Chain A
Amino acid sequence: AAGVIQSPRHLIKEKRETATLKCYPIPRHDTVYWYQQGPGQDPQFLISFYEKMQSDKGSIPDRFSAQQFSDYHSELNMSSLELGDSALYFCASSLVGAGKETQYFGPGTRLLVL
């Protein structure tokens, strides 16, 4: 079965650079979520999209932005990177409604900011 695809899997950036993370949800899933997991921490919700519209926002820095495109893939754009942005970034997708609220996670993008 098709899973959530994230690219790149690993990314190394310098401070103050920008990064773009991509997410391709499971086909026919209508909702995408982004989470950030710092070292030794639990995943923290950043932002979500339902049918290409932002549906919720968590503790996402103003330096970050995201969108969902017409083909349902999503991108997380991160600017002015800081050392503290080093983390594992997960994208998840789900099909909301009819009891199908389970989120399926991609393998994550591991971002290291030097």
Chain B
Amino acid sequence: AQKVTQAQTEISVVEKEDVTLDCVYETRDTTYYLFWYKQPPSGELVFLIRRNSFDEQNEISGRYSWNFQKSTSSFNFTITASQVVDSAVYFCALSELAGTYKYIFGTGTRLKVLA
């Protein structure tokens, strides 16, 4: 069965610290996609990144970077030099070809960046 685990319920860091959000997934499908979304206090879900199962290349976008490792079924997200505006709930999600691409979300990690 498909499952996404975000073991970190809440993380607090001081501004300018680096922080890594963990995501572990389970799937039997060979074609799947992994995503990270940000949900700020205003409530909307903001798309950050998509990775497909055939592309293990890590990606960096500004202060954000993602580490996808199929061997450990992990898709971790690192924020470098965190800022107060990064404070939000971050969701990791999985969608599968066999699952009509609906999202299975993790339970989310609440990140608090303190000034």
Contact = CB atoms under 8 A, between A and B. Distances in A.
Most central of B33, B45, B100, B104 by chain A CB within 10 Å: B45
Interface of B: 33, 35, 37, 43-45, 47, 50, 52, 91, 95, 99-108
B44 A108 contact: yes
Interface of A: 31, 33, 35, 41-45, 48, 50, 55-56, 58, 88, 90, 92, 94, 96, 99, 101-105, 107-108, 110
A102 B99 CA distance: 14
Contacts of B37: 105
Given A42-B91, A42-B107, A104 B47 contact: yes
Nearest to B4: A42
Nearest to B108: A42
Nearest to B100: A56
A45 B103 contact: yes
A65 B52 CA distance: 32
A90 B106 CA distance: 16
5 contacts: A92-B103, A94-B101, A101-B95, A102-B47, A105-B47
A80 B109 CA distance: 33
Nearest to B95: A101
A105 B44 contact: yes
Contact of A43 (B33, B47, B91, B99): B91
B35 A43 contact: no
Contacts of A44: 105
B45 A43 contact: yes
A98 B91 CA distance: 24
B100 A55 contact: yes
A90 B47 CA distance: 14
Contacts of B95: 101, 103
Contact of B103 (A88, A96, A103): A103
